[in-house]
Amino acid sequence: MATTLISGGTVVSAIGRREADVLIDGESIAAILAPGHAAAYGITPDSVIDATGKYVVPGGVDAHVHMSLPFGGTVSADDFDTGSRAAAWGGVTTIVDFASQTVGLDVRDVLAARHEEAAGECHVDYAFHQIIGDVNDESLKAMTDLVENEGVTSFKMFMAYPGVFYSDDGQILRAMQNTSESGGLMMMHAENGIAIDVLVAQSLARGDSDPKYHSYTRPEELESEATHRAIKLARVAGNVPLYIVHMSASEALEEVSRAQHMGLNVFAETCPQYLYLSIEDHLAQPGFEGAKWVCSTPLRSKHEHHQKDLWKGLRMNELAVVSTDHCPFCMKDQKELGLGDFSKIPNGMGGVEHRMELIYQGVVMGEMTLERWVETCCTTPARMFGLDKKGVLEPGADADVLVWDPNARTKIGVDDKHHMAMDHSSYEGFEVDGKVDTVLSRGRVMVQNDEYLGAKGHGKFVKRTLSKYLH
């Protein structure tokens, strides 16, 4: 098997940094060596990657993406091929997508179909969560089977989107009880969808139909209320581990923080869009432009401390993970479905390529440490979702590596760095410090010298174990 030495860099983990060389043997990390010591051990690697002046970190793990998601009358624009390739360009070597069960569908069937869709298409390794949108005796049985036999150990449910993915409290409770017994983890889209639909109808009746009303009809109270309710339901269901997805608002974060102080098994993620984008600067842009930034939970006002609080939450571990909720839609033919009616704009934005870049900028801005960047973007998502060989650089782990150049810069935009299948960039014009230098997925060089060297089909399905936070 071929050996590679990544030499001269600073290896950064969730707990510290040190000058070290990384020896890769085939698809795995073989050793972390004191700088320059490979020769002393008689090691002559087949190839050397010079990481002098650079950081060497685990490949990113994006635990929340939606490739080819049928949603809002269309299908998200990146498929497993284009989306996982964009992930590699962004230093992300594992993605976790979703199989979706809606009313009337069989859980095992939709998971099998999702496997077929992804097989042979992915550039980087991938895993699945299971969306549960129809709780019944059969789907509950299947949930246990997925945890025990299929390597699908987490479920996503929705308190939002009535008529699409929505579940009521009784259904959620039953699914949580089942998950509590099987040892799985429950992810929750926490927004009160029933109340939101009333506000949406009222807004449209008033003639308030521009994209910005997407956020005004999803006030933070309806995110925090749902977060609170999910926490209580999880407690009733035997303190099942609960993971709140795409958290956008201060009040909801307070609910999570309070639950954690009470000793409950409650975790949460946020996404780059909630740390950088706002109603004023993005969603409320004139005309239909704001449609680019319609996503749920929605962007919030920049004047209400949400961004500051979310950064604080990341520092304090109230927010354990940064994911992207990558769910891109083009303006043409997709976002345009909502011209004149914001409620018909497909919800979602793309970002799988930019998470490592945008969160590293948080390090530069002093919002978090370098180690915390690695922890929230690589190590914790791997531990949270039972990806046992991902998220760390240690002997035996998969050789998923990102060499990061802190002295270069990255310009994001459709005519700059942009490899997602979108006709616009959610972060157009952003220029950030640092740059993806080299990316390896299980020992294979995917990106080097601004050139793409990966290939469709390299990415393999990863069976996940139970969350390492509780098992």
Q: Residue 156 or 444: which CB sits closer to ligand URP?
A: 156
Instruction: For residue 81, give Cα distances in angstroms to 73, 328, 349, 381.
Output: 22, 14, 18, 22
Contact 185, 179 (CB under 8 A): yes
Q: Residue 274 or 311: which CB sits closer to ligand URP?
A: 274
Q: Please tell me whether residue 86 adopts helix, strand or coil conformation.
A: helix
Contact 215, 282 (CB under 8 A): no
Encoded one letter per residue, x for contact with ligand URP by CB under 6 A and - for no contact, window 316-345 reads: ---------x-x------------------
Instruction: For residue 171, give Cα distances in angstroms to 174, 189, 196, 215, 399.
Output: 5, 14, 19, 27, 41
Shortest Cβ distance from residue 193 to ligand URP (Å)?
10
Residue 348 binding target from ligand URP, Zn ion, none, CB below 5 to 8 Å by type: ligand URP
The size of the interface with ligand URP (CB under 6 A), counted in residues, is: 9
Residue 381 binding target from ligand URP, Zn ion, none, CB below 5 to 8 Å by type: none
Interacting span for Zn ion (CB under 5 A) from 137-145, 181-189, 199-207, 418-426: 181-189
Encoded one letter per residue, x for contact with ligand URP by CB under 6 A and - for no contact, window 278-307 reads: -----------------xx-----------
Shortest Cβ distance from residue 246 to Zn ion (Å)?
6
Residue 295 binding target from Zn ion, ligand URP, none, CB below 5 to 8 Å by type: ligand URP
Q: Residue 284 or 295: which CB sits closer to ligand URP?
A: 295
Q: Residue 35 or 162: which CB sits closer to Zn ion?
A: 162
Q: How far apart are CA 400 and CA 61, in angstroms?
A: 10
Q: How far apart are CA 19 and CA 52, in angstroms?
A: 10
Under the binding rule (CB under 5 A), the answer on residue 189 touching Zn ion is yes
Q: Residue 82 or 426: which CB sits closer to ligand URP?
A: 426
Instruction: For residue 372, give Cα distances in angstroms to 81, 262, 343, 388, 434.
Output: 30, 24, 37, 19, 16
**455 φ/ψ sector (left φ>0, alpha ψ -120 to 50, else beta):** beta
Under the binding rule (CB under 6 A), the answer on residue 78 touching ligand URP is no
Shortest Cβ distance from residue 214 to ligand URP (Å)?
10
DSSP state of 334: T
Selected from 54, 66, 390, 418, the binder of ligand URP by CB under 6 A is: 66
Q: Please tell me whether residue 58 adopts helix, strand or coil conformation.
A: strand
Structure tokens at 331: 């303006």
Selected from 189, 390, 435, 444, the binder of ligand URP by CB under 6 A is: 189
Shortest Cβ distance from residue 344 to ligand URP (Å)?
14
Under the binding rule (CB under 6 A), the answer on residue 133 touching ligand URP is no
Shortest Cβ distance from residue 10 to ligand URP (Å)?
35
Closest C-alpha among 243, 295, 291, 255 to residue 274: 295
Residue 347 binding target from Zn ion, ligand URP, none, CB below 5 to 8 Å by type: ligand URP
Q: Residue 100 or 376: which CB sits closer to Zn ion?
A: 100
Nearest residue to Zn ion, scored by beta-carbon proximity: 189
Instruction: For residue 371, give Cα distances in angstroms to 14, 51, 278, 363.
Output: 5, 18, 27, 9
CB neighbours of residue 171 within 10 Å: 17
Q: Residue 283 or 295: which CB sits closer to ligand URP?
A: 295
Which residues in 318-347 contact Zn ion (CB under 5 A)? 325
Continuous H helices in 183-271: 193-206, 213-216, 220-236, 250-261
DSSP state of 292: G
Contact 166, 197 (CB under 8 A): no
Q: Residue 186 or 374: which CB sits closer to Zn ion?
A: 186
Binding site for ligand URP (CB under 6 A): 66, 189, 246, 295-296, 325, 327, 347-348
